[in-house]
């Protein structure tokens, strides 16, 4: 086989780059594909249904409407995002300056339910005023193991109602409540 054979991974000598010459002298264009195409995505027309009637809006408007809806249902993060978006989109309008939004579910910190869900200690069920915190079975077992007294029937019923899957809990021998009706 001679040194000038042409084939797989052996281009002709006349088409090879000279030593020290780049195969891409201009290089990659700067800024290309760096930013996501938010304008094209949020500018698309989507169909939404309000009060049983369909109408077409931009994806950006549908997103803001969804955030407003979730905010009104009690989602604090969505409410803040919706207000910030409205203030940014309509600076000339008199959107009231909101200093804080508080929804007390547990204690006084509105981030507690999200932290509980992130740690898988409990789960938020329902939305708005109908939302409830349901505790995970393992955290109920851990808490009951630390108790130094037996709970009353009403305390047991309250714990049963607020456990996500009470049938999965290994209840202590003294436990009397076996369903939510007791």
Residue 176 lies in a domain: no
Does some domain include residue 17?
Answer: no
- Residue listed under structure tokens 């993060």: 77
| Residue 29, burial from CB neighbour count under 10 angstroms (0-12, 13-18, 19+) | exposed
Assess if residue 77 is contained within a domain.
yes
Q: How many residues does the chain have?
A: 182
Neighbours of 136 (CB within 10 A): 20
pLDDT at 182: 52
Q: Note whether 164 and 117 are same-domain residues.
A: yes
Give the span between the Cα atoms of 179 and 27, in whole angstroms.
70
Q: The whole model's pTM is what?
A: 0.38
Q: How many domains does the chain have?
A: 2
Identify the CA nearest to 46 among candidates 25, 32, 60.
60
pLDDT per residue over 114-150, tens digit each?
667 777 777 777 766 666 778 888 888 888 888 888 8
Residue 83 within any structural domain of the chain: yes
Residues 162 and 118 in one domain: yes
The whole-number pLDDT of residue 36 equals 65
In a domain, 178, yes or no: no
Q: For residue 28, is it within any domain?
A: no
Q: Residue 125: give the domain boundaries.
A: 112-168
Q: What pLDDT was estimated at residue 93?
A: 67
Nearest in space to 123 (alpha carbons), one of 41, 157, 114, 43? 114
């Amino acid at each position: 086989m001679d040194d000038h054979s042409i084939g797989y991974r052996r281009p002709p000598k006349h088409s090879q780059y000279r030593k020290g010459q780049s195969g891409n002298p201009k290089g990659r264009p700067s800024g290309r594909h760096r930013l996501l195409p938010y304008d094209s995505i949020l500018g698309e027309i989507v169909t939404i249904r309000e009060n049983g009637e369909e109408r077409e809006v931009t994806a950006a408007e549908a997103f803001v409407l969804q955030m407003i809806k979730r905010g009104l249902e009690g989602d604090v993060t969505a409410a803040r995002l919706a207000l910030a978006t409205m203030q940014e989109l309509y600076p000339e309008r008199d959107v009231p300056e909101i200093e804080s939004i508080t929804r007390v579910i547990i204690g006084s910190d509105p981030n507690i339910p999200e932290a509980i869900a992130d740690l898988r200690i409990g789960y938020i069920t329902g939305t708005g005023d109908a939302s409830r915190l349901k505790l995970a079975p393992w955290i109920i077992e851990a808490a009951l193991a630390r108790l130094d007294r037996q709970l009353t029937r009403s305390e047991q019923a309250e714990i049963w109602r607020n456990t996500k899957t009470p049938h999965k809990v290994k209840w202590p021998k003294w436990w009397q409540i076996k369903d939510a009706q007791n």
